Amino acid sequence: MRHFDQQLDELRSRLLEMSGLVESSIYRSVVALTEKDEQQAMQALQSESRINQMEIEIDDLATGLLALEQPVATDLRFITAAIKINNDLERMGDHAVNIAERALSLIHEPVVKPLVDIPLLASMVESMVRQSLDAFVKKDSSLARTVLTSDDGVDELRDSIYDELIIYMEKDATTIRQCLDLIFVARNLERIADHSTNIAEDVVFLVEGVDVRHHAEARK
């Protein structure tokens, strides 16, 4: 195996390690919220610095490959996709931290209602995250396109969660702070889904050479 191929493998496996950390952080933050589990929230918060450190290391690795190996064609596309995916993963990690913070703020509050549809939204989003990374690893652009089509469902569910929470707030002013926390949780989940969509778009571009950003018709 060429030294360069080994380094591409290294880049791929570092990204997988990063995505594992981020997925676990998202999962823990949601469990912290739904189970009122303080320990899971703390673990999600603690993984932030490791994720940040990995982002820098992966960036250095990718930029080093660009500089030293001067790759072309597919390899170049792979490395630029890796730089973008790395950035999306780090931001997903930030959203998981935000969710964990909201979970902590809600931990001693009696629940308004069994969290509306937030657990359902979380499971939709978690599967988008996993599928977008699987699509990247397997270079599977049809799986990536599945992620792109899931995004509309996430937006619809988020809207219905907002509407339901607003009704609670209007009925009972004492629930306002709690409902706001939940609105921000839904918002953070939706942003994680957006980052998965970005990754899926990068995968389609990587595999097919078709740029599907901002072009709904090319996503079909």
Positions touching a copy of itself (CB under 8 A) are 49, 52-53, 55-56, 63, 66-67, 70, 72-73, 76-77, 80, 83-84, 87, 166, 169-171, 173, 176-177, 180, 183, 187, 211, 213-214
Between CA 50 and CA 37 the distance in angstroms is 21
Tokens for 94? 């930030």
Nearer Cβ to a copy of itself, position 130 or 187?
187
Q: Closest approach of Cβ 70 to a copy of itself, in Å?
A: 4
Q: Are 110 and 206 in contact (CB under 8 A)?
A: no
Nearer Cβ to a copy of itself, position 66 or 115?
66
∠ CA 30-184-190, rounded to 5°: 70
Nearer Cβ to a copy of itself, position 42 or 180?
180
Nearer Cβ to a copy of itself, position 111 or 176?
176
Q: Closest approach of Cβ 173 to a copy of itself, in Å?
A: 5
Q: Closest approach of Cβ 87 to a copy of itself, in Å?
A: 7
Q: Closest approach of Cβ 170 to a copy of itself, in Å?
A: 5
Closest CA to 106 of 29, 205, 54, 220: 29
> Which strand (E) or helix (H) includes residue 108?
none
Q: Closest approach of Cβ 160 to a copy of itself, in Å?
A: 15
Between CA 33 and CA 55 the distance in angstroms is 26
Between CA 1 and CA 20 the distance in angstroms is 26
Q: Are 47 and 94 in contact (CB under 8 A)?
A: no
Nearer Cβ to a copy of itself, position 50 or 138?
50
